[in-house]
Amino acid sequence: MRVGVLTGGGDCPGLNAVIRSVVRKGIDVYGYEIYGFRDGWRGPLEGDYERLDVQSVRGILPRGGTILGSSRTNPDKVDGGYERIKENLARAGVDALVAIGGEDTLGVARKLTDGGFDVVGVPKTIDNDLGATDFTFGFDTAVNIVMEAIDRLHTTAESHHRVLIVEVMGRHAGWIALHGGLAGGANVILLPETRFDVEKVCRHIEHRFETRYAPIVVVAEGAMPLEGQMVTQTTELDSFGHVRLGGVGDWLASEVTRRTGKEARCTVLGHIQRGGTPTAFDRVLATRFGLHAIDAVHDGAFGTMVALRGTDIVRVPLAEAVDELKTVPVERYAEAEVFFG
């Protein structure tokens, strides 16, 4: 049997660990041939692939990014896209596909499954916003990077009596901001799920200065003030209809300075959160996802995604995985609010 594997959407640490597992168990245990498709759905659309053997995945476990490349190519935007994918997979003799991605990549996987092709999904994203799995890999690494950045910002903020604002990724979910901010001891954490009151943020900041400690504000790129709109970098949409977020941190810094007279600066962590080597947690989770994904292929459990429930890896319908964004519940945010101000 020939099994294809691809990585789509924004990259994240741990993708190579999944590929390694699929290849190692696929070849050694099941005797499959494994083919890696390049750059997400572009690979199957254009018939761009390579054979992966055990040698080709040696040493990739700690490496960030993806040896297969990634893209946000959307077959829905290509004339006859799904038919082309099926033709190219048939031409390559590929019987089943392991698609590693977030909601967009897995949404395509679901349509392909509905169209009769055999796909198993693996959830990845630093945003941790996929329903049906307790965690996606990549998230833990991103949170650790945010935490380390906040630790460093604390000392320079104190030296200069400044407000330092840290803008983090996460799109429309505040998981990275919430966990990074909690782990780093932020003064205020602002999430996309709850609109924020700039005046209240300023009061927290002033209170922190009164206690002779410089405030760190963590703001998610998708956070919005009570009045006004989400700040975006451009109005252009990517092929899945997403706008590029970012800029709320700088906007907030100037508002804070205007309202409190305190010097405020913004640090945008950006793609640093997605780069580099995965944490031990992400390596183990990604490795287990890969092993269970190739088991699902072997069992013919197509149209499913592997997911983490507690400490178990389970199979859930792809539909369940992509139907709903997992955002931060109000009561989880309330836990963090105890530390504000």
User: Helix, strand, coil proportions of the chain in percent (round to 5)?
Assistant: 45, 20, 35
Other Cβ atoms less than 10 A from the Cβ of 87: the count is: 14
Cβ contact 123:12 at 8 Å: no
Strand, coil or helix: what is 108? helix
Footprint of ligand F6P on 78-137 (CB under 6 A)? 102, 125-127
Cβ contact 98:44 at 8 Å: no
Cβ contact 102:127 at 8 Å: yes
Residue 152 or 242: which CB sits closer to ligand F6P? Answer: 242
Piece in contact with ligand F6P (CB under 6 A), picked from 17-25, 86-94, 168-176, 177-185 = 168-176
x/- string (CB under 6 A) for ligand F6P, residues 211-250? ----------x----------------------xx-----
Which one among 145, 150, 169, 248 touches ligand F6P, defined by CB under 6 A? 169
Piece in contact with ligand F6P (CB under 6 A), picked from 74-82, 90-98, 169-177, 321-329 = 169-177
DSSP state of 242: P
Q: Which of 39, 104, 127, 282 is catalytic?
A: 127
Residue 9 or 215: which CB sits closer to ligand F6P? Answer: 9
Within 8 A by CB and 6+ apart from 8, the residues are 40, 41, 70, 71, 72, 73, 99, 100, 101, 102, 104, 105, 108
Q: Choose among 97, 136, 169, 120: nearest CA to 13.
A: 136
Residue 1 or 230: which CB sits closer to ligand F6P? Answer: 230
Q: Choose among 68, 140, 79: nearest CA to 105.
A: 68
User: Phi and psi for 107 in degrees, rounded to 5?
Assistant: -65, -40
Is 141 a binding residue for ligand F6P by CB under 6 A? The answer is: no
Which one among 4, 8, 10, 101 touches ligand F6P, defined by CB under 6 A? 10
| Residue 127 annotated among the catalytic residues of the structure | yes
Residue 120 or 268: which CB sits closer to ligand F6P? Answer: 268
Residues that bind ligand F6P (rule: CB under 6 A) add up to a total of 12
The residue at minimum Cβ distance from ligand F6P is 169
User: Which residues, listed in sequence order, are joined to residue 3 by a DSSP beta bridge?
Assistant: 34, 96
**Minimum CB–partner distance for residue 305 and ligand F6P (Å):** 17
Residue 60 or 272: which CB sits closer to ligand F6P? Answer: 272
Other Cβ atoms less than 10 A from the Cβ of 298: the count is: 17
Catalytically active residues are 127
Q: Which residues bind ligand F6P (CB under 6 A)?
A: 10, 102, 125-127, 169-171, 221, 244-245, 274
